[in-house]
Each structure stands twice: as C-alpha cells, then as structure tokens.
Chain A
Amino acid sequence: MHMEHDILNGTILEENKEISLPELCQVCKVDAEWVIALVHEGILEPIGTGPEYWFFSRIALRRALIVNRLQHDLDINLAGAALVVELLEERDTLLARINL
C-alpha cells in the first residue's frame, strides 16, 4: 500500500482555541441537548453565557466521549456515568503519583 509510508499530519483538536458546542457534538456524534444535560450535571464546564457562545476546555472532549461510551456500553444513566468519569480521573491521578 503506497499510503503506508506516508506520514500523516493531524490537527490537535483542543490546541489553542477551545471547542465549540457544534464541534463537540460532531466529534461525539451527539445532539446539543445531550451536551447541555452534561453541563447541567456539572461534568462539563463551558465558558460563555449561553449554548451558542459556549466554549469547552481540553478535558471536555475526553469526558464527553467517555460518558457517551459508558452510557451505551454499560447502560449507566448520565449522573452515574458522570460520577464514574470523576472517579476515573481521580484514580488516574493517584495511580500516576504512586507510579513514580
């Protein structure tokens, strides 16, 4: 395959600018209401006065993707999935520390 030796240049999604609501919806394949529910749950904390002005930080995309997968794969509701994401982040931080 001629493709296999080419070097691919990607774009970092979260670099410099933050992610807008439509971008977040597009990558996660979700509708805006789902994202708004996550914001109400306190798991995503956008900057901006209303959904059309919202911008999400670097961590938001990863959180949204994980919540989405947990909801589908393990049948967890939004609040439960949000709790799991927070506990996972806490666990990863602690694991990184003891891994020293």
Chain B
Amino acid sequence: MEYKDYYQIMGIQRDATQDAIKRTYRKLARKYHPDVSKEPEAEARFKEIGEAYEVLKDPEKRAAYDRLGTRWKSGQEFQPPPEWNQGFEFHGGEFAQSAASQFSSFFEALFGRNQHNHQRGHQGFNLQGEDSHAKISIDLEDSFHGGVRSLTLQHMEPGPDGRPHVRERTLNVRIPKGIQQGQHIRLAGQGSPGAGHGKAGDLYLEIIFKSHPYFSVEGKDILLELPVAPWEAALGTTIPIPTPAGKVDLKIPINSRPGQKLRLKGRGIPASSPGDLYVVLQIVLPPADNEQARALYREMEQKLAFNPRAGFNI
C-alpha cells in the first residue's frame, strides 16, 4: 500500500492550525466538488481531499498520523509499524456515509473501516448492500444507435490477508437507444455486496454525453452551427449536413440571415416523440487574400447599395 501525505494533498504545512485546515478544506471542497467542478480529475481529487480532511480535522487522528513521522514520501510503499497506534483512542469511529466507503487502503490500515459496517458483519445480519452511483460518458451517436460501452469502476474489498484492497472491475453496459444526458441506468445487483445473505445493492449510472466537435445537446434537441458562404445564404441552395444519424441534404432558403435557425423536426434524440435538430446558420466571409478576391469585394462595394449600419442614423 502507498503512503499518503495528507498535508501535501491539502497543500498545507505540517504545523497548520485546526482552523487553517478547516478553511483550506472548505475552499478545496468547493473547487473540486464533482457536481460543481470543471477541473480534470475533480472526483479523484475530491475523494483524496475528503480523506485527508477526515484525518487532519480530528486532533486524535492527526496526532496518530503525525506519529508516523516525516520520513515517508507520498506514494512510497508503506506498512504501518506494529502497535503504531497504541495509546490512541479514536472517538466517533463512524465516518460520513458517502465518504467512508471510498477511503484508501492506507486510511483503512491506519484507522480501520467504518465501525458500523464491522458490526453488521459480526452480528450476522442479512443486510442489503449499499447502492452505488457512478457516471458513464457516452458519445452522442450512442444515443442514436444504442450500443455497448465499458466502464471501469474501483472499489475496496477485503483481500486474502484481511486487509482492504482496491479492486477494479469492468462492466459492459448496454446503452439503450434514445437515452438522454442526465438520465440514469439502474443495474440491479451491481452495487456493494450485501452482508450475510443480504442482496447486493444496485448501481446507478448517470449518463453524460462527451462533448462533440460540432453538435451540442439541449434535452432531446440537438444544435448544429452550420457555416455557409455569403452566396449560399443569399441565393439559397441545398447542401449536405451531418446529423448524428448520418448525412442529410438541407435546403437553405433564399436571403437567409446569420443566426437564422432551421428546424429539422424529429431529427433530435430518438424517442416516442423524438427531439428536433436545429441548424443555426453562421455566415463565413471569404478572406480577401488575393487580387481576384479583392476585386470581387471592390465590385460589390461599387455595385451594391448596402449600408450595414443603416440603423445607426449617422
């Protein structure tokens, strides 16, 4: 198991006051909260910070942790010294429900597992396992065609030596056609194992769409910003455009304006009442980067009575 430097994780000095630790935790928790944060690896950071705080906020645990000394480096292979925590009494052995199941094996080797869980095991209750929640990122196209995506989850379980170990498991999950961002898939029996003869909990997967190079999604509707040439918008034409279900031909009406929205009914996310695809026209100017192009612009300047600032009255 790897040593964890809780002070380094929180970015504080070893002699930080309890107040400073709390302040730092609050700041970091807001920054890395997985529901709020756009930082990469926010979820892993948030768990790490939560674990560090669980130890450092409690003067008893902190003192015990400090007794390991300063010779350890983060990530170094670690075994707790025998009887290392003798003479320390820990109070309030129950950790916050959501966090306790996610602490590292380093934490659990030092401070044990949630006592509550231990008692359950010993008293032989048949308790249903806890439900777990995870997110799964899929491509927008998966929602159109359905498909199978694999997902790797980490969880703790007791190893042959009785110590908790991190175990990875990979699930292959069928993505139902028409699923939308923010919906949940329930996988019965894939949560935490139950105690005794209790059933395993369920696993809930929240669907997240990966960002797409040109489509964006709002509920069941899809938006495509479509670049067109000035003459295509002015004269009207028919051009091939991409949709998540494949290429279609789109008619651009005569005298289209930039920002104009064209609706393709039923071309959004499939459902009994499917979403729509909105195409937003974006007019792109050809650069005047050669003599011929400049001549054409000059000709328009001379022959078109066009004042784009007519509304300004100046």
Q: A99-B216, A100-B225 are in contact. Are A8 and B35 (CB under 8 A)?
A: no
The bracket for how many chain B residues form the interface is 35 or more
Cross-chain pair count, CB within 8 angstroms: 98
Contact in complex: B36, A84 (CB < 8 Å): yes
Central interface residue in B36, B169, B176, B216, by most chain A CB within 10 Å: B36
- List of A residues within 8 angstroms of B204 by Cβ: 13, 27
Distance A74 CA – B50 CA, assembled complex (angstroms): 11
Q: Provided the pairs A72-B98, A73-B33, A74-B30 are in contact, do residues A100 and B179 lie with their beta carbons within 8 angstroms?
A: no
For the complex, give the distance between the alpha carbons of A45 and B206 in Å: 21
Q: Does A15 contact B (CB under 8 A)?
A: yes
CB closest chain-A residue, reference B182: A62
B202 to chain A, nearest CB (A): 8
Complex partner residue of B179 from A12, A69, A72, CB under 8 angstroms: A12
> Count of chain A residues with Cβ under 8 Å from any Cβ of B?
34
Q: Are A88 and B187 in touch, CB under 8 angstroms? A: no
Instruction: Report the separation of the CA atoms of residues A69 and B133 in the bound assembly, to the nearest whole angstrom.
Output: 11
A96 to B38, CA, bound (A): 13
Interface membership of B174, Cβ < 8 A: yes
Do B218 and A6 touch across chains, with their CB atoms under 8 A apart? no
Contacts A27-B204, A74-B30; A10 near B35 (Cβ below 8 A): no
A sample of 6 cross-chain residue pairs with beta-carbon separation below 8 angstroms, ordered by A number, consists of: A6-B172, A12-B176, A70-B33, A70-B35, A84-B36, A100-B214
Query: B interface vs A, CB < 8 Å?
Result: 26, 29-30, 33-36, 46, 50, 96-98, 131, 133, 148, 169-174, 176, 179-180, 182-188, 190, 204-206, 211, 214, 216-218, 223-225, 280
A: which residues have CB within 8 A of B? 1, 3-15, 27, 29, 58-59, 61-62, 65-66, 69-70, 72-74, 84, 88, 93, 96-97, 99-100
